[in-house]
Amino acid sequence: MYILVVEDDARMAAVLARLFQQAGWRSDIVATAYEGIDCALSHAYDCAVVDVELPDGSGIDMVCELRRLGVHVPILILTVHDGLSDRVAGLTAGADDYLGKPFAPEELMARIQALVRRGAYDRFRQDTVQHGAVRLDKAPRTLQYRGRQLSLSEKEFALLEMLFHRPDQVITRDQLMARLWGPDSEVADNALDTYVYFLRKKCARLGLKNLIQTVRGLGYRLGPPPAP
């Protein structure tokens, strides 16, 4: 998993980074609300862990702004402010869970995993998703554009589904590999490149040559919505 941590206490940030690393998760650590918003808009995180007291404002205000901007990443607020009114304010702002400090590492990890499972279910239960004039249908697995239709394999559909559900974000190679082959699979690193190469060729037949864009060193994202 890919976790965003917004925490200005260097010691706590190091603890969280170590916990996630031991679990085999990747994390980005930032110390301000501004950096947190910038990262959340730029990357496809599986979950965000946010402190309330930040140098440049409130973590609750940051959560509210992310929701206003259309960022739907699951968010867990982690803070010493654990009173009833604090929890209500955080959840009302758009956070998905709230955990007080000090915390049991096992509980934190379990809560994050539950949030990620719930978020994945909510995203992928949709049968149809649009990107401009392009439509991705789950049953049957097809890509449609300007009255023409393209049949997709199971893995081709899974790859496009991740991109379509996060159209403004970069999906990392690790996230795509885990989605296509499972988190513990041992496939060649160039297997993903091969799938993307042939999928691009198929999309080009529909006039969607730039549907999948490479972000060098990071992964892939959707191109601009094609014209109707």
- Looking at the domain assignment, is residue 196 inside a domain? yes
3-state secondary structure of 15: helix
Judgement on whether residues 9 and 111 belong to the same structural domain of the protein: yes
Q: Which domain holds residue 57?
A: 2-123
Residue 121 pLDDT? 45
Q: What is the pLDDT of residues 126-140, one digit of tens each?
A: 578 888 899 998 878
Residue 184 pLDDT? 64
pLDDT higher than threshold 70 for residue 12: yes
CB atoms near residue 136 (< 10 Å)? 21
The alpha-helical segments, DSSP class H, found in 23-104 are: 33-42, 59-68, 84-93
Q: State the burial class of residue 181 (Cβ atoms within 10 Å of its Cβ: 0-12, 13-18, 19+).
A: middle
Judgement on whether residues 82 and 130 belong to the same structural domain of the protein: no
Domain count, the chain: 2
Give the domain-ending residue among 123, 150, 165.
123
By percentage, how much of the chain surpasses pLDDT 90? 43
Judgement on whether residues 116 and 134 belong to the same structural domain of the protein: no
Rounded mean pLDDT, 138-152: 88
Give the domain-ending residue among 105, 123, 141.
123
pLDDT higher than threshold 80 for residue 192: yes
Q: What is the mean pLDDT of the chain?
A: 87
Judgement on whether residues 98 and 73 belong to the same structural domain of the protein: yes
Give the domain-ending residue among 123, 152, 179.
123
- Residue 79's CATH number: 3.40.50.2300
Tell me the pLDDT band of 183, cut-offs 50, 70 and 90. low
pLDDT higher than threshold 70 for residue 62: yes
- Looking at the domain assignment, is residue 18 inside a domain? yes
- Looking at the domain assignment, is residue 228 inside a domain? no
pLDDT higher than threshold 60 for residue 68: yes
Judgement on whether residues 154 and 114 belong to the same structural domain of the protein: no
pLDDT higher than threshold 70 for residue 73: yes
Rounded mean pLDDT, 157-177: 86
Judgement on whether residues 92 and 12 belong to the same structural domain of the protein: yes
Q: What does the angle CA 201 – CA 207 – CA 212 come to, to the nearest 5 degrees?
A: 55
Judgement on whether residues 175 and 103 belong to the same structural domain of the protein: no
Judgement on whether residues 175 and 130 belong to the same structural domain of the protein: yes
Q: Are strands 128-131 and 97-100 parallel, antiparallel or unpaired?
A: unpaired
Note the pTM of the prediction, 2 decimals.
Answer: 0.62
Judgement on whether residues 110 and 142 belong to the same structural domain of the protein: no
Pairwise CA distance, residues 70 & 26, whole Å: 23
Residue 208 pLDDT? 92
Tell me the pLDDT band of 30, cut-offs 50, 70 and 90. very high
Judgement on whether residues 151 and 44 belong to the same structural domain of the protein: no
